[in-house]
């Protein structure tokens, strides 16, 4: 299985290291040719508008959306989730491949970053909770009927899945807990790439 990590901006190396700890070699994706060599894609945190600008020269955003709609598994983390969403406020372009609406930076500025304990679905394995690092995190304000909540803090959905697309408002790569990446790799092994 060849997992790509979008390597245009953000801490993509942390995802590469997390995947390596699971025995999965991750390929940096910076071009259409890189994307062609992958069967699944991790879209890291960072700055979603900067990522969109860096995708423009090769229409990488359109190519990623086409691949996901054709069945390629995708994991979007924070800004990566913003890119996957159906609708984003304040209004910006997104790929529209995950049926959620989001508000960017809803948990505050960088200085308001925090760690919360969230309840997680049994799909991720035990124990039933994990730490979630929130850094300028988006807030999910609407989920489509096919979107399952896999992690929550109270009533707030922080980890969701719609078929082969997973989105997290937090940064699982910044903790020692690999369950989000492990679950994504299992999903990718059964995916269509």
Catalytic residue among 15, 39, 164, 173: 173
Question: Residue ranges of the alpha helices (H) in the chain?
Answer: 12-21, 32-36, 48-55, 60-69, 79-84, 179-189
Of residues 179, 149, 186, the one with CA closest to residue 164: 186
Catalytic residue among 15, 164, 171, 181: 171
Q: Distance between CA atoms of 148 and 40, rounded to whole angstroms?
A: 20
Q: Distance between CA atoms of 93 and 42, rounded to whole angstroms?
A: 19
Q: Residue 185 catalytic?
A: no
Q: Residue 78 catalytic?
A: yes
Catalytic residue among 15, 39, 78, 181: 78
Q: Residue 112 catalytic?
A: no
Of residues 35, 34, 17, the one with CA closest to residue 25: 17
- Residues serving a catalytic function are 78, 171, 173
């Amino acid at each position: 299985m060849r997992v790509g990590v979008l390597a245009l901006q953000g801490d993509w190396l942390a995802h590469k290291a997390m995947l390596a700890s699971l025995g999965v070699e991750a390929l940096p994706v910076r071009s259409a040719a890189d994307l062609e060599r992958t069967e699944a894609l991790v879209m890291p945190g960072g700055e979603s508008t900067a990522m969109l600008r860096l995708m423009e020269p090769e229409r990488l955003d359109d190519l990623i959306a086409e691949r996901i709609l054709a069945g390629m598994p995708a994991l979007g983390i924070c800004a990566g989730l913003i890119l996957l969403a159906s609708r984003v406020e304040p209004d910006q372009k997104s790929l529209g491949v995950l049926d959620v609406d989001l508000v960017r930076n809803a948990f505050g500025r960088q200085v308001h970053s925090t760690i919360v304990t969230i309840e997680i679905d049994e799909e991720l394995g035990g124990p039933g909770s994990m730490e979630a690092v929130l850094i300028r995190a988006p807030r999910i304000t609407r989920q489509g009927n096919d979107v399952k909540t896999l992690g929550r803090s109270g009533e707030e959905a922080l980890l969701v899945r719609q078929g082969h697309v997973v989105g997290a408002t937090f940064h699982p790569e910044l903790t020692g807990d690999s369950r989000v990446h492990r679950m994504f790799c299992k999903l990718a092994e059964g995916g269509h790439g």
